[in-house]
Amino acid sequence: MSTSGNATTTDGLVIEIDRELCYGFADCVSSAPGVFELDDDEKAVVIDPNGAARDDLLDAAGNCPVTAITITDSATGTTVFP
């Protein structure tokens, strides 16, 4: 289990969580509980980057009310979300 804000999926997507922006609303956890959880500081962390399908992962990032989650394609460096 990872306890970091950043992780890479097997599809080559890099999930980054800006812990300064994260307020722990847990919308990402509700949307993709297999990927995200809140740590002891009530901040989102990635527990399994492959814990949800790509579309569900993008939905979870989109549900963050403060846009603390960025998803990037590791091969191209292109931002996938936001």
Q: Is residue 10 part of a domain?
A: yes
User: DSSP states of 16-82 as a string?
Assistant: EE-TTT-----HHHHH-TTTEEE-TTS-EEES-TTSS-HHHHHHHHHT-TT--EEEEETTT--EEE-
Confidence of residue 3 (pLDDT cuts 50, 70, 90): very low
Question: Residue 31 sits in which domain range?
Answer: 6-81
| Count of structural domains within the chain | 1
Q: Is residue 1 part of a domain?
A: no
Residue 54 lies in a domain: yes
Residue-level pLDDT at 11: 87
On whether residue 71 sits in a domain, the answer given is yes
Task: Indicate which CATH number applies to the domain containing 45.
Answer: 3.30.70.20
Residue 5: pLDDT band with limits 50, 70, 90: low
26-80, pLDDT tens digit by residue?
A: 999 999 999 999 999 999 999 999 999 999 999 999 999 999 999 999 999 999 9
